[in-house]
Structure 1
């Protein structure tokens, strides 16, 4: 029923002369998403991306995507920026786009304002290999000091274990600088792959069968599982209730921040 996407650009495909969304979105991953939706005609779909998708290129990127979904593909579309921190201990704002083939009424779920603390996802015993070396820790400190002197906020993030972390990204495997766990009497450490999985809401039964580097990249690119689960449940309820928008198909519902 659903599709999750990231809007990275690919080389254009040799598909001949395009028109409509084929013309405006060719060369992006959304082009392929639109083609799949057009071919498969799902009853509903769910898309997720970084919240800046709405402001990218002065809003043009999102306007093209909405036009493709609403006008070219004929779906009733809802969107909302949601922060996952009410369900997982991570500050993770993402835009979620829900579409229905029928003009069905839909409301996004409401999330708690405050979620679990970061310490609740930490492992009891962690291998020393996750502790930063003296060389790396000195480098990160110097890097942060240099940028603070310039008046910007670039640099590592030492996490507050009683609150939530920064956003986990696919680059976490490099040095773990955006989310460092403080340790008494020694250098801070990176999250383990299992802790990254928990940070995204994956259950411990989820098997990690790839290398640490691959796992960090995958979890950094992942959706926050509990958020997607709640939205999907609301989508199923909307389909089952089958309550239609009064003005009929084609009315677009804008559910902003």
Structure 2
């Protein structure tokens, strides 16, 4: 059944009272209204300076039972900063840390057209730095006593034009990856070609979202989300599926997969040009 809005408000109030916490944001599919009964609920815990992990752990145990645990900041890696995987009232609830000063810096970078895909466990493409901005732009603020989160979000009401252009310009990498993938054909290196194609699809997805002025904050579901964009290349998702379905050790099949992907890159570039005008 999931967590009720009243229960989420109660949890957010408990988290917001922890020293170091600046605000709490409902994210993920629940915030966007696309969740299902099986969806996890994501709460972004925005903090500054020293986060009182012991107090936060006590809050987690109050709602999720004595076995509940939370990490120290940095416990899950450099970008997905830590948090806790909890079960509350039979539903999955994820607490996800966000250093607000770092989020502010990333938002300024996005406004200036700067982004990066950074190494992070659980993100095979790499964590898209501008996802920090997208999370706030798409999230629902549950606690923000000083108004800081609302202030940052207000600056994101319009998708940054410089970021859109930078993501479209980043399509050069997709062309480069096509050439790299072809080097794996003579060796029948299916794994290498598959890795190249995954990178290529991710770069195309972000470029198309940028051109459309839409935030893309997760690799999961990225292909379907891209296919649904107005102006996306025709049969985007089906063509991605065909490319990956062609992957096996037969060099002819590998060439077919790469050719499908190469055509998709060309169509992505054309679609971006039309959308960003």
Band the TM-score falls in, shorter-chain normalisation: under 0.3
Higher relative contact order (CA 8 A, sep 6+): 1
TM-score (norm 1): 0.26
